[in-house]
Every structure is written in C-alpha cells, then in structure tokens.
Amino acid sequence: MCSKLLPATLLAFIWSVLWLHSNASLADGAAGSLIPAQQVHGSQRMVFPNVPGYLTLSADLHTHSVFSDGHVWPNIRVEEASREGLDVLAITEHLEWQPHSMDLPHKDRNRAFEIAAKAATGGPVVILPGAEITREAPVGHLNAVFITDANALHAPADYSPDQTDVEKIVAQLPDWGAEAEVNRQYVLAGLWPVEQALQEVRKQQGFAFWNHPSWAEQAPDGLPPVSNDHRRWFKEGLVQGIEIANSNLYSPESFQLALDYKLTLIGTSDVHDLIDWDFPPSLDQHRPVTLIFSKTRAADSIRDALVNLRTVVWFRDTLLGREQHLLPLVNEGLSISKANFDHEGSVLSVQLKNTTSVPFRIENISNYTDQTHTGVMTVPALGELDLKLGMLERKSQIEFSVRVHNALVAPNKALELTLSADIEGF
C-alpha cells in the first residue's frame, strides 16, 4: 500500500460508502431514510376515485406462492399488495399442479390463504380465500374465490381413477422441469371430474372464473376454445367470470365473450415471481387489476359486486369495462378544473384534471376548435392538461365532448362522454 496520505476527497468517498453500508435501513425506505419509502417501493401506485354509491376497490384475484408453482412465501404477496396500494388479494394455488411438493410436501390446500390472512391482519389489504382448478384443454384453468375449503375442490383421497392411459398422458406433457412423479400426480388429480369441483364451488358459495382463455399453450390460435361445457357452465352460473387480461396479455375475444354471455370482466397478474420483476415500477409498469365497485370492503359485499358484474379491468394504460360501469369511473376521474375566457374574446382557457393512475388519451369530438392540440392528447395520470378552445361565442357553461381512446366499452370501441363546468366570471 502507498505510504502517502490519501487525498481528502478520496477519504470522504470511502467514509460515505462505509457509512451507507453500516446504515442499511437507508436503502429500503425505513425510518430515518434519506429516500422516502413510497419512492423506493412505488407505494400507492393504484389511485382511483370512488363512484356514486360504491367504493372503487383494486383487486388481484389470481396470484401464486410456493404452495403451488410460485416462488415466494404468501406473506410476500401481502407485502407487495400493501406497498402498491392494492385493496383486495387472492392467492390462488393450483390444486393439482404441485411442482414444489418434493421439497414442500403438504396436504392442506388452504395453507397459503391461512398464512396470507395472518400476515394481513390489521393491514389495508383484504385477503380472499381461493384456488385454481387446473386441467388440460379443452377445460383449461378455472379460479375459485370466496371458497371455504380448497381441499374439497380437489380429488378426494379415496378417488381411484382408471389409470390405463396415465403414463401415456404423462409422456405427452410439455417439459415443465418437474419430477416425473409430480407430473404423474398432476395427471391423476386431473382425472377427477371438473364438474364436481365446480359444483363444490357453488356449494361453498364461491365465485368461479375462466383463466387466460387465450393462453397459447391451450389456445394455439389465440382464440378462446369455448366448448359446449363452457357454454353450459356460463348459462348455469357455474362459471361467472372470465379473464380478459392476464399478466402481459389482453384478449379482445374474451372481452366479447364476457359481453355475449354476461360474464364478469376480470384482470389479473397471475404472478409467480416477485411482482416488481414481472411489472417493474422503474419502467412505470403495474400489474393488471380488477376494479370492483363494492358497497363496503367486506368480503360478502365484494362478492356481490362480482356476481352483479360491477367491475372494470385496468390493463397497462387502458380501462376495459361495460359502459354502465366505466362511464361513472371516468366521469369521477376526469374533470374540468378551470375554465375562463381570455380577455374579452370567445377563446376559452380550460384545464383538465385527472385523479386516476391512468393517463387518459382523449380526442376532442365537440363543436369547439382546439387551438393547442392537433389530435389525440394525453391528460397525465394524477395530473393536469391545459388547452384553449375556440367557442365562437361567450357562454356561462362549457360542455366538452371527448372520446377516451384508452377506455374501451367493447373490443375496439372507445368510451365517449361530455365534461361540463361553469365558466368563471359569469
């Protein structure tokens, strides 16, 4: 080592590094942090106004932990949800697909919910019991929430299926990286009639929905493989909802199916890894969620909202929902906060305000000319946008009609609404 004294600037740098390492709490937003926790963790990334008569609750009804094929403990899911500002969470483990069973053997399919519910005690997140009924095509995967016992949705211990073709089925499975015995148990459990599982969901007053119907592994052409069984389940209310957004995929065909069969619109993360790995907040990404319009935060009220179709899906920067539910939400979130005439003329200065986490892309479809934008404009999430409108004559009130390009009431059909406000000075 050089015997000369180190320069003062280098000594200061070394000291600062050593000091930061000795105060690790500063790096994760803990008490006394130089960086506020909400900036580190992206807290409250889901901001939506309530609508007349209902609370607006953000929900993720399809997630996984190590108790099926996820990679985190259930309490991590709860912490992630809390930091994001999520209101409702369900950890829905695969009942039949248990790739960690060689290392984490367990027979109680309620265990993940119990751990999550305990971790959430006293916190802001409502934890719902749930499970994923897992079958190969043509049935696909089905989620059930509000259930009372996930074990009853799984093949009973004394179930003895015909095993004639089991090994042939196992050999045809894709290479999922699991042990042969895991694959074999998955096939055996999947031979239990799915109809019995759905009837059990109904018996427990649960709510079932079809997961990722356009998933390429079970729908190679990207179209939901709707069977006669699916149609019957829709009609009989055994399956009441459908995912139109799952992880990074949106299915307009599933959106149309929901409209055609009066199914509840669902959007979920289906997260298996850390949520910030799949949806990095540094890239301004968020998990898809279901916005539920519920009278209270109680589980029975949330279930009532789902059964009665009161949902909107937030996927990337787009809202997807039936007009009767989407219109009140956008009306509450997008407004004219200021309106006044410039000098003595008829040019109106207008400020639009957005109180949601969605950056609204709007188009002027009114009779007013827009002197500040040539086409579609964006009202930033939780922000404001100024524009000048030529009104031809001075009035005491403005009615500004817009098309919201990223608020869809059907596949490729944008919401239209009229924003009204009194003009200052009249």
Residue ranges of the chain assigned to CATH 2.60.40.10: 331-422
**φ/ψ of residue 265, rounded to 5:** -80, 125
Backbone angles phi, psi at 312, to 5 degrees: -135, 140
Per-residue pLDDT, averaged over 155-175, amounts to 82
Angle, vertex CA 255, rays to CA 254 and CA 256, nearest 5: 90
CATH code for residues 42-316: 3.20.20.140
Q: Where in the chain is the domain with CATH 3.20.20.140?
A: 42-316
Q: How far apart are CA 220 and CA 329, in angstroms?
A: 35
- Architecture of the domain defined by 331-422: Sandwich (2.60)
Q: Quickly count: other Cβ atoms within 10 Å of residue 326's Cβ.
A: 24
Nearest to 267 by CA among 250, 289, 293, 285: 289
Q: Are 290 and 126 in contact (CB under 8 A)?
A: no
Tell me the mean pLDDT in the region 255-283. 97
In tens, the pLDDT along 285-341 reads 999 999 999 999 999 999 999 999 999 999 999 999 999 999 999 999 999 999 999
| Whole-prediction pTM | 0.88
The pLDDT, as a whole number, for residue 44 is 56
- Predicted confidence band at 225 (pLDDT cuts at 50, 70, 90)? very high
Give residue for tokens 């919401």.
415
What rounded mean pLDDT belongs to the chain? 90
Of 18-27, 77-86, 180-189, which has the strongest mean pLDDT? Answer: 77-86
Burial class (CB in 10 A: 0-12, 13-18, 19+), 9: exposed
Q: Using the predicted structure, report yes or no on whether residue 27 has a pLDDT greater than 90.
A: no
Average pLDDT over residues 57-70: 98
Q: For the chain, what percent of residues have pLDDT higher than 90?
A: 78
